[in-house]
Homo-oligomer: A and B are copies of this chain.
């Protein structure tokens, strides 16, 4: 992942762009790789049409796997795999009642991010 190449060295020697050394002026707290990966992980979880629909529906009400599959017009297995993915990220949680497993949103922050973004996108 990390790469130190000819390109990096060449880069240092040549361009100063504005001539004011804009990179050096970048003094605000730099973002770390871990932070960037963590932020990207959350956005990535919301970055798929199937998961967008899932979260959209679950934001309205708790739903079992079967009903989600019906709403999404998808196979049970595919839905279950996606729910597993979202559960690993603590975005959804399970509630088991007999044979049935009900899913709901597990993170208020994610929910707010989702709803706020929906609001933003309506004005675009």
Contact = CB atoms under 8 A, between A and B. Distances in A.
A110 B85 CA distance: 25
A28 to B, nearest CB: 6
Contact of A52 (B22, B40, B46, B67): B40
Given A33-B49, A36-B52, A73-B8, A28 B112 contact: no
Interface in A45-63: 45-53, 56-57, 60-61, 63
Interface in A10-48: 11-12, 15, 17-18, 22-23, 25-26, 28, 30-31, 33, 36-48
Interface string A49-89: 11111001100110110110111011110000000000000
Interface of A is mostly: helix
Contacts of A42: 47, 117, 121
A26 B56 contact: no
A49 to B, nearest CB: 4
A123 interface: yes
16 contacts: A3-B73, A3-B74, A7-B76, A17-B66, A18-B64, A28-B60, A36-B52, A37-B49, A39-B46, A40-B46, A42-B121, A43-B43, A43-B46, A44-B47, A46-B47, A112-B120
